[in-house]
Amino acid sequence: MLIGYMRVSKSDGSQVLDLQRDALRGAGVEPERIYADLDSGRKDARPGLTACLKALQPGNTLVVWKLDRLGRDLKHLINTIDDLSQRDIGLKVLLAGAGAQIDTTTANGRLVFGIFAALAEFEAELIRERTRAGLAAARARGRLGGRPRKVTKEVIKMAMAALADPQASPSEVARRLGITTTTLYVYLNGDGSVKAPGQRLLDGAEKPERLRSTANKGRHDAAQGNPG
């Protein structure tokens, strides 16, 4: 049985479902077996896709107009396809570029997605390598002169890059950068998105945390009559 899924997005300008619906129906999908979503960004919830995936049974084939209608990004796409494969569900993409189609129920279609999976793993490994190199560089800078780690613009950027990997642990990232997890969460969310204090630091409108502490200590010593 064929089950269709279609999506329109404000972010990419595709506001009308008619083109996708006509393509799915032309591929043999019954109107009552077509699920749809309207979203405005990469991280929006997709109740239509959730319902569609739940409705699929072993031996069914999911039909989509284009690959970007199904996956938020390459990793999400590969994970979705792998899940379908594990459940003995096929995928048919009606427009895969240059007028070609992809059908994972065929040997050629499985080969194409095997290549996609390899590329996704390659991309993930590149991100991990850049993260490790960046953290190593940050640690090296933090050890110069024996000074404790300061929460600087560079540290924030490094943490953002590290946390962009969904598998990254905030506590581990904080440890490698020489700061506490609590301090990390002052500036960033767990997914690496920046909070207001972090944005001010990036914009140069806020002093690094260590510098603020040093400045406050100097003012306290002066008030107590202690030498600086």
| Catalytic position from the list 9, 11, 40, 85 | 9
CB 29 within 8 A of CB 2: yes
User: From the CB of residue 52, how many other CB atoms can be counted at a distance below 10 Å?
Assistant: 22
85 included as an active-site residue: no
Nearest CA-CA partner of 149 in 167, 165, 135: 135
Q: In whole angstroms, what is the distance from residue 144 CA to residue 186 CA?
A: 25
Question: Phi and psi of 207, rounded to 5°?
Answer: -75, 150
Q: In whole angstroms, what is the distance from residue 161 CA to residue 133 CA?
A: 11
With b for 16 or more beta-carbon neighbours within 10 A and e for fewer, the 3-25 pattern comes to: bbbbbbbeeeebeebeebbebbe
Q: In whole angstroms, what is the distance from residue 65 CA to residue 42 CA?
A: 18
- Positive/negative CA dihedral, 110, 35, 14, 38: negative
Catalytic residues: 9
